[in-house]
Structure 1
Amino acid sequence: MPKKIYHKFISFDIEQIPRNLNTQADALASLASNFTPTFFDKIRIVHILKPAISKPEQVTPVNTDNDCRTKPYYDWFLRGVLPQGRHEARAFKIRASSFSISNNTLFKRSQAGPYLRCLEPHEAKQVLQKIHKGYCVNHKGGRSLASKVLGTGYYWPTLRADYLDYCAKCEACQIHAPINHQPSEILHSISAS
Structure 2
Amino acid sequence: MSVYFVSKVLQHGEVNYKPIEKLIFALVHTARRLRRYFQVHPMLVLTDSPIKQVLSKPEVSGRLVKWAIELGVHEIHYAPRTAVKASSSDGTGAYLILIGPDGEEHIYALRFEFFASNNEAEYEALLSGLRMAEKMGIKYLKVSVDSQLVANQMNGMFEARDPAMQNYLALAEEMANKFKRFSITQVPRSLNKKADALSKLASSVFSHFAKDIWVEVLSQKSTDVVQLKNGTLPVDGATTRKIHMKAPMYMLRDGVLFKKSFMAPLLRCVGPSEAETIVREVHEGTCGMHAGFRTVVGKIMRLGYFWPSMYRDTEEIIKACASCQCHAP
SS for the counterpart of 2:238 is helix
Higher normalized strand content (fraction of residues): 2
Percent identity of equivalent pairs: 29
Contact preservation (8 Å) 1:140, 1:176: no
* Mapped pair 1:170 → 2:324: no
Correspondence 1:19-98 to 2 at 5 A:
67=218, 69=220, 71=222, 74-98=225-249
Measured in 2, the distance between the counterparts of 1:69 and 1:88 equals 11
Counterpart code for 2:251:
S
Return the alpha-carbon distance in structure 2 between the equivalents of residues 93 and 141 of structure 1. 34
Q: State the TM-score, normalizing by the size of structure 2.
A: 0.32
Instruction: Tell me how far 1:154 sits from its aligned partner.
Output: 0.3
Structure 1: any 5+ residue segments left out of the alignment? 1-61, 179-193
Gapped regions of structure 2 (runs ≥ 5) = 1-129, 132-170, 173-216
Offset from partner CA, 1:9-37 (integer Å, 9 cap, x none): xxxxxxxxxxxxxxxxxxxxxxxxxxxxx
Aligned to 2:284: 133
Paired residues, number: 117
Change (3 A) 1:161 1:106: same
Aligned match of 2:63: none
User: For 1:112 and 1:70, how far apart are their aligned partners in 2?
Assistant: 30
With CA pairs under 8 Å and 6+ residues apart, which has the higher RCO, 1 or 2?
2
Equivalent-residue separation in structure 2 for 1:70 and 1:110 (angstroms) = 25
Which of 109, 113, 116 is residue 264 of structure 2 equivalent to?
113
> Secondary structure of 1:97's partner?
helix
Aligned position for 2:302 = 151
- The 1:72/1:114 distance shift into structure 2, 3 A limit, reads farther
Over aligned residues, Cα RMSD in angstroms? 2.7
CA distance in 2, matches of 1:177, 1:93: 44
Instruction: Give 1:90 shift.
Output: 1.5
- C-alpha contact (below 8 Å) 2:281/2:288 kept by paired residues: no
- Counterpart of 1:157 in 2: which secondary structure? coil
Q: Which amino acid aligns with 1:117?
A: R
Residue 254 of structure 2 corresponds to 103
Write the deviation string for residues 46-91 of structure 1: whole angstroms up to 9, x where unpaired.
xxxxxxxxxxxxxxxx957893648466323322232332232012
TM-superposed deviation, 1:176: 4.5
Q: Which has the larger Rg?
A: 1
> Conserved in 1, the CA contact under 8 Å of 2:218 and 2:272?
no
Deviations 1:78-112 (A, max 9, x none): 22232332232012111111111111111001232
Contact 1:69 1:120 in 2 (8 A): no
Equivalents in 2 of 1:79, 1:120: separation in Å?
20
Distance 1:122-1:148 versus aligned 2 partners, 3 A rule: same
The 2-side partners of 1:103 and 1:145 are apart by 28
Call closer, same or farther: CA 1:163–1:67 in 2, change over 3 Å.
closer
Please say if residues 98 and 108 of structure 1, whose CA atoms lie closer than 8 Å, have aligned partners that are also in contact: yes
- 1:134 and 1:161 map into 2 onto residues whose CA distance is 20
Alpha-carbon distance change, 155 to 169 in structure 1, aligned in 2, over 3 angstroms:
same
The residue identity in structure 1 corresponding to 2:250 is F
